[in-house]
Each structure stands twice: as structure tokens, then as C-alpha cells.
Structure 1
Amino acid sequence: MTSTPKADLIARSNRLGSDPRVTNYAGGNTSAKGTEIDPASGKPVELLWVKGSGGDLGTLTESGLSVLRLDRFRDLVDVYPGVEREDEMIEAFPYVLFGKGGAAPSIDTSMHALVDAAHVDHLHPDSGIAVATSADGEALTKTIFGDRVAWVDWRRPGFQLGLDMARIKAENPGTIGAILGGHGITAWGDTSDEAEANSLWIVDTAEAYIAEHGRAEPFGPVLAGYEALPEEERRAKAALLAPHIRALVSTDKVQVGHFTDSPEVLDFLSSTEHPRLADLGTSCPDHFLRTKVKPLVLDLPATATVEESVARLAELGEQYRVDYQAYYDRNATADSPAIRGADPAIVMIPGVGMFSWGANKQTARVAGEYFVNAINAMRGAEALSTYAPISEAEKFRIEYWALEEAKLARMPKPKPLATRIALVTGAASGIGKAIAHRLAAEGACVVIADLDLAKAQAAAAEIGNTDVAIGVKADVTSEAEVIASVHAAVLAFGGLDLVVNNAGLVLARSLLETSEADWDIQHDVMSKGSFFVSKAAARVLIDQKLGGDIVYISSKNSIFAGPDNIGYSSTKADQSHQVRLLAAELGGYGVKVNGINPDGVVRGSGIFSGGWGAKRAATYGVPEEELGLYYAQRTLLKREVLPENVANAVFVLCSADLSHTTGLHIPVDAGVAAAFLR
């Protein structure tokens, strides 16, 4: 790629954004200044390219940049009405944009435009925030960096901060950047390489100073009884607690979760100082906008039982909501946006780990990553001094900023199954795979469970990254493996809402040809397997108190009595009645249980590809590739049934449009009169 200010900016941004020491997802922003020809005049014009609102440095592309005319932006200084009305300046940004398209300018645009440097980086490294949130951060900045880095007292991002930064650079020509109190760092340079080098020098120098001069135990000694449990034990406990925690954090609106038991989290929770520091909360605006001002921390030792933990979490959850409402009431003004909900975003369990929550998996995961960053910043600040985040009032001004409210209002409308977590068995191929794809397309997080782990993971990868879908191994004839797959779903996404019993096989034989082994394997997979899956899922659904859906992929054969298929058809009849029984039993918990009766699904079917399709085609005297079309001619609609048709029915059953339907079987067979429900 030809070296231009814009190309250099994108390359630098991608490097900085890919280094977790420097910043994490969607954190910070970068810019470059340069000259291009204005098509309207044919004359050169000075431009600013800057990462737009909501973008991510690590994955930044040209479309994620805002492009502004610098001459017109600098004119805004003359009409600036003062800090009390600085938010009005953001309304002027669209009038200084250059060209068409591009991302919306962020609130940090002023700093990039007004600082007299060709390239500017604003970042949130843990080491920089550690200095920025130290009680004596200004003195530490002088000690650590000398005259190369300036200190800037906390100021909310905006036009005034841009003016302040421009003045500081002008008054201190030897500086390469600044520590922004309570917030992060900014660095600059005449070239892209120089700006990047200056950013990394600040990060590295702060890291080295903390390592050399910091206290050995910044969080204090280990708190007896709060040490990390062994991995298997803590993850098992986490899986049992997760549904209860999801119920707690979904009081205002349903959330998706992420679990981490990283060393940073476990070490923090095992320390004597963790209650004090957790109560102080995060400081960097990018942090607490995602984590809320402070986490909910279970105040019981790691040895507490699940039952004791659940009871105490319920009490703490109520208190958290009361405290958050009080925080809002203390700080809100007549023009503040309405409270957005009082549920915690971070829930920490000593000895176990941390659950983070959000509107989707990515949001939840990023919230957790940010709190780990906050822990690292606290460690650095406590190692050098005392952790002193920005005040509660300033946090509120950020959290309930009208500009943040406007950003939230611009977010796209959620898809129909957003926040729903689905587990589909036998989903590496055929009907199950089609169901998984449809549910994910409608916004659900999907767990593909299959006997073959490699195929399950490959099928999940086709859908998207692990924020959208994961693959797990599940032999449904093993209750232990079924429970493990449900636990994997819960730890991956925070809970479970939608279960599809799809795993199956067929051995089409007459009564006299059907062996005991033939009978047992089919009943083990479909009858007993569905029982195991529904039982394990029901535990989660009941604990969550959010309702849910269980769907059985049964068959036309559960209704239709045909010859030479006693093993398969009888187990499908068993599944069919499980639907009715569980609909009656689980309705009181808000759980809907429904079934689907497909027939003649040949294309993409794992059952038919196992040799059964060839046998049926031979029986009917048609080529195997035409078997589906042959079956279609037996139907009233004369249409071939595809896996996607079954997937469509699953979606409809689980959508809001059928919120009052349970105990139903939907035929997806293109019309088989003999299988009409009576």
C-alpha cells in the first residue's frame, strides 16, 4: 500500500489496537492530518482523518474514519460558547465533514483536530491509567517521565479538553504526550511512526517503573478462605451459579453473559483489599460505560456452598439495585436521561471468577475485558500510591451524558432472538445445522452439540466467531456428557433459553428383523437422549426464571403407522408424548414445549447420507439423488421438504408471535394426509 497519511494511520491503528497492553476492543482513537484536492474547487485542502465513534482500532478500515476539513474545524474555536455549553459543539461537526460517507465523529475529535501535530494517539493502556488514577498522579508523571510527558487534570472528553491539550502542547514544546488524569494517555508526532513510538514509550516506561518501584503486594495479603478453587471445581460451581446470576442481572432486561476465571480476577478476589477497591469502581470512561460504576461482589468465601451463594447473591442483588437508584437520584438533574436500569454488569464470585453481562455476547465479553483492565490499573496505582478514580459525580456525567444517550439511540433494532441462547443437538449436519444457522441469523447465540466435536466446531465456525456460536461434544446417550454440554453453554453465554432435541438416527427394519441392539440404540439416542437433554436444560431454565423453549424434532412417523420401521417410529412416538408431558409440567415456569414432525427430508440429512437413503431409493426404484423429489410427489403440495423448512418452523415456535403456544406439534411434510393430527 502506498504510504499516505490515511494509509499510515490505518496501519498504525491496527498495530496499536491489536496489543492488549495498549488498549482493548473499541478503546481509544487515533488521527492523522494531511492534504487532498477538494473536488468542488480543485484546490488543496487540509484534512483530518480520525477514528469514528464506536469503532475499534485493531480492526479499523477506511470506512471507520471520520474525515473533516481542518480550516473549518479551527473556525469553531471562534464560536465556542464555553465549557458549560460545550456539548453544543458536537452538533457543528457534521458541517465540517469532508466528502461523503465515513463514520460519525466521536467526542474526542476536538483533541485530535486542535493539537498541533500531524499524528495523534489517544489510548487507554493499563500502565497509563494506573498513573492517571494514582492519588499523586501529577507528581508521579513528573518522576516517571520527566519533562517529556505533561499532566492534565481530569476533564470530561469534549471541545474544552481539545483546547486544553492544544495549549499544553504549545506551552511545552518538548513534550511527546500527556497523562490525562483519571482517564488515559495521549501522544503525538510529526510522522505516524513517531507518534506510535511515543505512545509505546509512555506505555513501556510506565510499565517498567511500576515493575521496579511498585509494592510487591499492592492488593494486600491473601484473604483466608478466598483463594481460587481448583479449576474443575470452580468451573462446575460457576455453571451452577450462572443461571441464578442471570436471573439477578436480567431484572430490567434480559442479558447475555461471559465468564472468566483469569489469574488477574482470581488474584484480585483473593486479596484483603478487593472489597474496598471494587467499591471504588472503575475510572476510565471507556471502562465504566461498559462495567457500570462498580461491580457486585459476593461477600462469601470460596468455600461457601452453591445454596449459600445463591441466597446471598439475591440479597446483594436487591441492595445493588437500591444503591444504583440512589446513585442516580443523587446525581441526576432535570435534563438527565432516564435511568437505564439498575442491574449490575459485573458479578464477581471469590474463588470462582467473574461474570460480565450485556445485550449480546460481544458486549458482555468486552465488559469483562475492561474490568480486567481496571483491575490491572488498580494494581499499578496501589503499587505506586493509592487508587483514586474520578468522582461519582463525574462518572454520572459520563454515564448519563446526552451524547452517550444519542449514541445508544443510533444502535440498530435488535433481531427477534437477540439475548436468547440456544442449544441444538445433532447440529453438525442436516436439519440440526440448518436450525442452528437460522437461530443465529435471528440473533441467538448458538451452541452446536454433536457426537463429533471436530464437526461441531467446524459447523459453529461457519456461523461466526465464538461470540455467536460454539461447538461442543455431546453423546446424548450419556447423561454426564449432556450435563457437560449444558454447562458449556452456560459458561459460554451465561445461560440457556432455547433447546432443540434434534439428535437422531434411523434403522428401518421390520419387527422380525429388528434386533435388541437396533431397538436400544434408537431409544437411547432419541427417547432417553431427549429426556437427558430436557432434564439438564430444565434445571437451568427453572433457575433463570426467564421462561424458555424446548423443541423436539419428532417425525411424521410419530403419527403415521407404516410397516418396517418399528424401532424408529416408536421412539418418535415417545418423543411426541414427551412434548405433551413436559408442556404440562414446565408451563408453570413459563417454559414452552413444542414439537415438529418433518418427513422426507433427504437433502443435507445426516440420516439419509448414512446409507439409508440409498436403501430407500433402491426400494422405490429411483436414483438416490432424486429420492427427495420422489417423496415430494407423495405429498399434497408436491414440494420437497428441506432442512431449512424445518428450521423455519423452529424459529416460528420460538418467536414472540407464538408466545402463547405450548404442547403443539407442527407437521413439516408438505402435506401427508395420513399423518394429519387428530
Structure 2
Amino acid sequence: MTDPSEKGAGLHPAVEALLDRSHRLGADPRNTNYAGGNTSAKGAATDPVTGGDVELVWVKGSGGDLGTLRAEGLAALRLDRLRALRDVYPGVEREDEMVAAFDYCLHGRGGAAPSIDTAMHGLVGAPHVDHLHPDSGIALACAADGEELTRECFGDRVVWVPWRRPGFQLGLDIAAVREAHPAAVGCVLGGHGVTAWGETSEECERNSLYIIRTAEAFLAERGRSEPFGPVRAGFEPLPGDVRLSRAAELAPTIRALASADRPQVGHFTDSEVVLDFLARAEHPRLAALGTSCPDHFLRTKVRPLVLDLPADAPLDEALARLRELHAEYREEYRAYYERHATADSPAMRGADPAIVLVPGVGMFSFGKDKQTARVAGEFYVNAINVMRGAEAVSSYAPIEESEKFRIEYWELEEAKLRRMPPPKPLATRIALVTGGGSGIGRAIAHRLVAEGACVVVADRDAAAAETVAKELGGADRAAAVAVDVTSEEQIAAAFQAAVLAFGGVDLVVNNAGISISKPLLETTTEDWDRQHGIMARGSFLVSREAARVMIEQGLGGDIVYISSKNGVFAGPNNIAYGATKADQAHQVRLLAAELGQHGIRVNGINPDGVVRGSGIFAAGWGAKRAAVYGVPEEKLGEYYAQRTLLKREVLPEHVANAVFALTGGELTHTTGLHIPVDAGVAAAFLR
């Protein structure tokens, strides 16, 4: 017999209802944050061994997201075995041991790993249970007089449960609350979130929404209008364009600070919620108190770094102050760790901030990839909403620092981190590829994303750049920018877009180009200027802007030129193209010599005969080269292959492979190198 959760057998009705409910709840950020909370359903299924009925609980597994939950993201456990764990529970001091015991309660094959909240769902007697992290519910949970406010808001329909770290004991506590309060539909968990239950899936969802919406209305009606205090002079939001320009100027330094222990990807937001919070008089006090529920500070760290200067402070002053605050933050974080760490605590994971707040500008958030960085920022917005609600009706009072440490350095959280797959070679690296909308550039962008990088696809053809960015997986992996590389202004704008999208730039590929194939006497000065403007001048401008960002970051970097065999090989009817490729080749050597002191490596790739998929060849270059060599245009790729030593056609993917070889971490001590990717052209051997 097959597990009732498996798609081939058809989903159990309880599972179908659970997934539908989860998707509806998870689709609205007012109900719970990304990957926050869990839902469950109980029901009878057939035991494949005995053929009899067995009572099961299906519960969202560790690490999943309600909005996108699938059947395989559920853990299915036998209720009789799960509830029997009460008889062997060793007490709150050893409750972490119970998570391993959940594995002995699993039913069938596959499914997700049970989460720490499994006990809550299994031990509560109701057939359907929701545990959620709505901002409105957490605002009550983190108010100084949350218990009284909960009673005032809900009467006896929702019961207060004092703070307790998630685990088996919390499950026992909530089960006892339900038994003692038969009229209750759920509870507010101090410092944490809300839990609701129901006899049917519909009733459970209705009760969850009742708690969330009633709390929202209570906060709106009962709360004061300016819970964060009056606007502080000089801390108002800068005008839109000025704000984005200042954010881009700050971003490389802020990313460098957030990456002192390990490289990070960044995310920037200047949403109204963030800007209003930072403009108000109370934001320094509230930010220093740290975030609220466990999900928040696991993502955002115990508190943010906050710049304490007015929005219009001179840039140099702001950068210097950020560096000072970062040094203080690291010292304070280490002291926090040492205050609470015990002999068996996991090692400190890093002392850099995950959230950096700049009044008048916005919020910079960081993580191991773009999604993690973005979600960290979303969680801090949740924290702001919680602070607003708590301050509106009371005062914000998150859990004690020692409890925050117990969550942040929980061995179970450490075990979850150990289970994660190793990072890809280009993880945390941010690349910008010019000419990325087609051909070689498109292939390079695909390879870099496949190896873990975030990629900015830069192309004169905005639609082509957008298409490639969508192919790469969208905003958490790629961004598209329209740029003419002959324009200093457009290049500066492209790099501004890159640092605002991902925090900085680490890897730049100079690939944009055209090919003008004419004899000397037919080559006009306009041909010469256009060819050199795009490739020689354009590469120079892109590299100059890249170096500015990389030097400010202090994280090293890579600049790769897609040059050509024609940079070293002299062929007929090719004066403009060959000369500009030689210019690019020498730029590699010159910049390698100059930028090495900053840890920036500059290398080149010399392809030849890349016909298939090439925008240059499709734009007329192919027909002209075919005429020069006296072959049909459709046979040009084959012709190029036959004149090589390996007799193999060169494709865009082969050039992309060479870019990865130079930047993927194995050639860390190589700079000033040109790699031929031409299947072997003896006349172009480097000497």
C-alpha cells in the first residue's frame, strides 16, 4: 500500500483540505510571514501492515512555507506514538531530545522532517490546528501588558499563554489550555504568535482569521495615532531620486561591513513603513530593543545597526560613522554571545549585522543569497509593524535577551544549518554581464546563475535583457538593465541598479560588442569610431565603474574581457574589429597590473568562430565573413571548425565555461591571463 499523502494514490481528504487552507492563509502577509507558522490536520488512514485504521496527524514540516506548501512538505506521524511521548518526556531542560523522537512516530515513506512545533499540533486535541505569526497577534504578544490586552480584546474566546520557547512543553501547555477553556478558539503566545483550532478545517481557518482580524481592529481602534512619536527634524525621507542615489553610494560600504565575517548578498527597501519608522523620534529606542518573535530575530539577528546621523549628512561623514558603528556593533554582539554562551553552545556564527537602517534613505538587509536577504528585510518590516501595534496600545516589550540567545544559538537550529547543502562555487557573488541579452552574454549569465551567482543582465536591448532575466529565475536571481556602453551616464545607472538590487558587484564581464568587417579602404572614420566606442571605450567605462564599486567594497573581484582571437591574429578586411580587440586585450594586462593591489583580478577570453546563437553573426557579420572565406553563411560554423586543430565548433556555452573557470574559485592566483576558446588556432597561439 502507498502512503495516503503520495500523489499517485490521491491525497487524503484531510490533506487536501489542509493544503487548501494553508495556501489561503499563507497568501496574505497579514496572516503570517514567509516560511512562518505551521498548520495541521488529523485523520484516519489505513495501516499498510495491519490493514486496519490508524490515526495520523499531517503537519507542515521544517522549513516550508504555507503559501506554497505541497503534500511532500508535510510530515505524517502516528498520533498514538506521538502522544505516547508524554510518558517518556524528560522535562523542559531536556526537551530538545524530543525532536529526534518524532522520527520514531513517522508514518510511511518520504515527507518532510518534523519541526519543533510538531508537539503543539499532535498534543492539542482538536482535529485541525493553525499556528501563525501575524503582526497584529505578535503586537499583543509583545506588549508589556499583553495578558490584560488579550483579555480586553477577546474576552474568554482567546487565552493568554506566557512565553515559552517552542518545543514539547509548549505543546503540553497549549493542550492544557484548550482542555481548561472549552469555549476558547485559540490562544496568544507571549512573545511569539497565535494558535487556533477547530473541529473542521473551515472552522480552524475561520478561528485563525477571527483572532488576526479582531486584533487588527483592536489595535486600530484602541491605539494612539503616533506610536513612534513625532517626526524628528532632519530624519525625514530624502526625495525619491536623491534617496536612491544616496542608497547606491552607501551600498558598497554597507555590504562590506555586513560581509566582514563572510560575504553576503544585499537587498534594499525604501518602503513607506521603513522610512516613517526611521523618521520618528522613538526609532533609536525601539530598534535597540531588538526584534520580537523567534522567526524575526532568527532572520534579522538580535538587533539592527542604525545610523544615527540626519538624512542629509555629508557622504564621507555618513560612511565614516557607519564604520565606527560597525566596530561597536561587533564588540557588543561578541559581548552578547559571551554573556549567554555555555560550554555546549554552538560557535558564534558571525558578528556582523543582518539589518542596517539609514534614516531618510531606507533599509539594507543581508543574507547568504538574495532571497534570504530579501526575506530578512521583510521580517524587519514585520518587526516594525509589531512595534507600532504594541506601542499604540501599551509599550513594546520583547522577550528577554537571554531567551533570544537560546533561540538564536539553539542546537536544533544549528542542526538545521548543518543539514543544508554546501554553497555553490559562486554563491554570494554578484555579476554584471554586458551584452547579456543574447549569444555569448546570455550563455555566460546562465552559467553564472547555475553556479550560484546573482546576475545583472545588461544590454542595449531592454526587452532581450528582461527575457534573459526571467529565464534565469526572476528577481531573486537576476535583474535586467538597459545600457548603451558608450554612455557614461547609462553605465553609472546600470551599476546603481546593480548595487540597489543585490548590494554590490563582484564580477563583471565585458561582453558587449559589434563587428564591422570591411577592407581598409572601405572602413570609414564613423565605422572606426563606432567599433572602438562600443568595445574599447565601452569596456574601459564599464571596468572603471566596476573598479569604483569593488574598491569601495574591499572584497576583491573579477573583471573578465570577452576579447577575441582577432586581438592577436591578423586577418584581412578586419581593421576596425581586430584593432579594438587588441585594445581590449591590452586593457586586461594594464588593469591586472593596476587593480591587483585591491584583490581585483582581470583576465580575458579569446573566442573564435562562435556562430550559433551569436547576435554579432546574426546582425550581418556572419554574411560578411562568409563572403571573405567563400563559403555559404549557413556553413560558416562548420568552416571555422574545420580550420581548427580540434575540428570542433565553438559555442557560446564554451565561452561561458571559460568565464566560470576563471572566476569559480580554483584560479585564485591568476590575473592578466588570456584563455583561448577557439578549438585550436595555431596562428593565434599566445607568445
TM-score in terms of structure 1 length: 0.99
1:126 to 2:135 alignment: yes
Q: How far apart are the structure 2 equivalents of 1:618 and 1:19?
A: 61
Are the counterparts in 1 of residues 517 and 624 from structure 2 also a CA contact under 8 Å?
Answer: no
**Amino acid paired to 1:579:** V
Any unmatched runs of 5+ in structure 2?
1-9
Tell me which residue corresponds to 2:270.
261
Q: How far apart are the structure 2 equivalents of 1:525 and 1:296?
A: 42
Out of 383, 393, 397, the residue aligned to residue 388 of structure 1 is 397
Q: Tell me how far 1:470 sits from its aligned partner.
A: 1.1
1:28 to 2:21 alignment: no
Out of 555, 565, 569, the residue aligned to residue 546 of structure 1 is 555
The percent of aligned pairs where both chains have the same amino acid is 71
Tell me which residue corresponds to 2:534.
525
Tell me which residue corresponds to 1:593.
602
Out of 565, 569, 579, the residue aligned to residue 578 of structure 2 is 569
1:623 to 2:626 alignment: no
Q: How far apart are the structure 1 equivalents of 2:114 and 2:443?
A: 40
Secondary structure of residue in 2 paired with 1:512: helix
Tell me which residue corresponds to 1:320.
329
Secondary structure of residue in 2 paired with 1:47: strand
Q: How far apart are the structure 1 equivalents of 2:638 and 2:205?
A: 63
1:65 to 2:53 alignment: no
Q: How far apart are the structure 1 equivalents of 2:634 and 2:190?
A: 69
Out of 363, 369, 383, the residue aligned to residue 378 of structure 2 is 369
Tell me which residue corresponds to 1:420.
429
Q: Tell me how far 1:614 sits from its aligned partner.
A: 2.6
Q: Tell me how far 1:286 sits from its aligned partner.
A: 0.3
Q: How far apart are the structure 2 equivalents of 1:509 and 1:648?
A: 31
Q: How far apart are the structure 1 equivalents of 2:450 and 2:640?
A: 29
Q: Tell me how far 1:612 sits from its aligned partner.
A: 2.1
Tell me which residue corresponds to 1:232.
241
Tell me which residue corresponds to 2:306.
297
Secondary structure of residue in 2 paired with 1:594: strand
Secondary structure of residue in 2 paired with 1:131: helix
1:245 to 2:278 alignment: no
1:158 to 2:184 alignment: no
Are the counterparts in 1 of residues 517 and 625 from structure 2 also a CA contact under 8 Å?
Answer: no
Secondary structure of residue in 2 paired with 1:326: helix
Q: Tell me how far 1:622 sits from its aligned partner.
A: 3.4
Q: Tell me how far 1:620 sits from its aligned partner.
A: 3.6
Any unmatched runs of 5+ in structure 1?
none
Secondary structure of residue in 1 paired with 2:54: strand
Tell me which residue corresponds to 1:487.
496
Task: Encode CA deviations 1:561-619: one digit per residue, 9 max, x unaligned.
Answer: 11101111111111111101100110000000000000000000000111221333344
**Amino acid paired to 1:272:** A
Secondary structure of residue in 2 paired with 1:658: coil
Q: Tell me how far 1:626 sits from its aligned partner.
A: 2.3
Tell me which residue corresponds to 1:471.
480
Task: Encode CA deviations 1:4-39: one digit per residue, 9 max, x unaligned.
Answer: 110111111111111011112111111110111011
Tell me which residue corresponds to 1:216.
225
Secondary structure of residue in 1 paired with 2:422: coil
Q: How far apart are the structure 2 equivalents of 1:80 and 1:178?
A: 24
Q: Tell me how far 1:558 sits from its aligned partner.
A: 0.4
Q: How far apart are the structure 2 equivalents of 1:202 and 1:474?
A: 50
**Amino acid paired to 1:344:** P
Tell me which residue corresponds to 2:212.
203
Secondary structure of residue in 1 paired with 2:458: strand
Tell me which residue corresponds to 2:408.
399
Q: How far apart are the structure 2 equivalents of 1:570 and 1:375?
A: 58
Tell me which residue corresponds to 2:146.
137
Tell me which residue corresponds to 2:647.
638
**Amino acid paired to 2:646:** L
Q: Tell me how far 1:3 sits from its aligned partner.
A: 7.6
Q: How does 1:77-116 map to 2 (within 5 A)?
A: 77-116=86-125
Task: Encode CA deviations 1:136-175: one digit per residue, 9 max, x unaligned.
Answer: 1000001111111000000000000000000000000011
Q: Tell me how far 1:335 sits from its aligned partner.
A: 1.1
Tell me which residue corresponds to 2:60.
51
**Amino acid paired to 2:295:** D
1:454 to 2:463 alignment: yes
Q: Tell me how far 1:478 sits from its aligned partner.
A: 0.5
Q: How far apart are the structure 1 equivalents of 2:362 and 2:601?
A: 32
Q: How far apart are the structure 2 equivalents of 1:210 and 1:458?
A: 44
Q: 1:97 to 1:2 in 2, by over 3 A?
A: closer
Secondary structure of residue in 2 paired with 1:456: helix
Q: Tell me how far 1:480 sits from its aligned partner.
A: 0.5
Tell me which residue corresponds to 1:656.
665
Tell me which residue corresponds to 1:17.
26
Out of 404, 408, 411, the residue aligned to residue 417 of structure 2 is 408
Q: Where in structure 1 do 4 or more consecutive aligned residues deviate above 3 Å?
A: 618-623
The alignment covers a number of residue pairs equal to 678
Are the counterparts in 1 of residues 161 and 190 from structure 2 also a CA contact under 8 Å?
Answer: yes
